[in-house]
């Protein structure tokens, strides 16, 4: 039977989910997960408490409850239930207060609110990524923090958007197409911004699988074409000394982390 897990927060519950998922991923156990955001009043706390208690009655196992609730009275509601509670904030805030010599000033929604510069960086960066996707527009590359290049369907667009939304990084992306392969070189607009370029490569077999989901049976999706493109692009990166990463076995989160580590780009997250 799956173990029930609740992520409860008086805000978006993003922090609670991330922390809880990181812990649960260490265990070879199946979990059924429930997320309860914006639990910021007694009525909402009572509603969530009822769900937690009913989970215990239904499964016979006490559900795990990860929460980040600022208000002490609302926390007490959750603590009275039949769940096994992990208070993420209190676990770390008390020792930090002792270390810093400063009392914390809890505020609902502070972690993922919109009243900070990082939020505006992220929104601007997302708009930039959307406007400069897939090489359609190149005249704003001077504003880019990074320009991702590679063959079609190697992960450029999702990585650009992830870098923008998570870190406020303005990421453009430029694809190398079938028509470029006869004499593959860096176009003038990329040469002008070579110091911003980061390459993404992918195994030909995986690329063919992805392309066949989009355009089955086409030359674009054939293994032969995928092998040609991936080989030529990787040779270009090596020739031009452009840093690059093979994305085949990496998630978008991992790709982004590698890029940030390799480039030293400034994060605008907090």
CATH of the domain at 241: 3.40.50.300
Burial class of residue 1, CB neighbours in 10 A (0-12, 13-18, 19+): exposed
CA 116 from chain centre, in angstroms, equals 20
- Name the residue range of residue 214's domain: 117-263
Looking at per-residue confidence, does 54 or 111 come out higher? 54
Q: State which of 100, 125, 144 marks the end of a domain.
A: 100
The average pLDDT across 189-200 equals 97
Q: In total, how many domains does the chain have?
A: 2
Give the pLDDT confidence of 199-230 residue by residue, as tens digits: 999 999 999 999 999 999 999 999 999 999 99
Looking at per-residue confidence, does 131 or 113 come out higher? 131
Both 187 and 245 in one domain: the answer is yes
Instruction: Give the start-end residues of each E strand in the chain.
Output: 3-9, 31-36, 64-68, 84-87, 146-151, 171-176, 197-201, 244-246
Both 75 and 141 in one domain: the answer is no
Both 91 and 136 in one domain: the answer is no
Both 53 and 161 in one domain: the answer is no
Residue 249 pLDDT class (50, 70, 90 cuts): very high
108 is a domain residue? no
Both 94 and 19 in one domain: the answer is yes
Both 30 and 154 in one domain: the answer is no
Q: State which of 100, 128, 154 marks the end of a domain.
A: 100
Give the pLDDT confidence of 76-92 residue by residue, as tens digits: 989 999 999 999 888 88
Task: Give pLDDT, residue 156.
Answer: 97
Give the pLDDT confidence of 231-245 residue by residue, as tens digits: 999 999 999 999 999
Cα–Cα dist 90/128, whole Å: 38
Both 144 and 257 in one domain: the answer is yes
Dihedral angle computed from the Cα positions of residues 62, 64, 68 and 74, in that order, rounded to the nearest 10 degrees: -10
pTM above 0.85, yes or no: no
Cross-strand bridge partners of residue 5: 33, 64
Both 58 and 126 in one domain: the answer is no
> Strand 146-151 relative to strand 3-9: parallel, antiparallel, unpaired?
unpaired
Residue 254 pLDDT exceeds 60: yes
Both 163 and 65 in one domain: the answer is no
């Amino acid at each position: 039977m799956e173990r029930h897990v609740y992520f409860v927060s008086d805000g978006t519950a993003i922090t609670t989910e991330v922390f809880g998922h990181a812990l649960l991923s260490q265990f070879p156990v199946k979990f059924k997960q429930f997320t309860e955001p914006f639990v910021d009043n007694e009525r909402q706390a009572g509603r969530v408490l009822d769900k937690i208690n009913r989970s215990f009655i239904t499964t016979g196992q006490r559900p795990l409850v990860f929460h980040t609730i600022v208000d002490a009275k609302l926390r007490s509601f959750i603590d009275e239930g039949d769940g096994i509670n992990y208070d993420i904030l209190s676990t770390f805030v008390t020792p930090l207060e002792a270390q810093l010599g400063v009392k914390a000033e809890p505020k609902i929604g502070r972690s993922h609110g919109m009243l900070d510069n990082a939020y505006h960086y992220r929104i601007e960066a997302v708009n930039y990524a959307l406007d400069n996707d897939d090489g359609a527009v190149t005249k704003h590359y001077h504003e880019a923090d990074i320009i991702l290049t590679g063959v079609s369907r190697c992960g450029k667009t999702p990585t650009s958007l992830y870098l923008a939304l998570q870190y406020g990084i303005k990421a453009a992306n430029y694809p190398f197409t079938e028509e470029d392969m006869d004499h593959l070189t860096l176009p003038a607009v990329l040469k002008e911004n070579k110091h911003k370029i980061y390459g993404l490569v992918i195994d030909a077999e995986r690329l063919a699988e992805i392309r066949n989901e989009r355009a089955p049976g086409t030359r674009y999706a054939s293994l032969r074409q995928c092998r040609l493109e991936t080989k030529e692009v990787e040779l270009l990166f090596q020739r031009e000394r452009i840093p690059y990463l093979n994305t085949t076995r990496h998630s978008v989160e991992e790709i982004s982390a590698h890029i940030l580590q390799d480039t030293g780009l400034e994060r605008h997250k907090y």
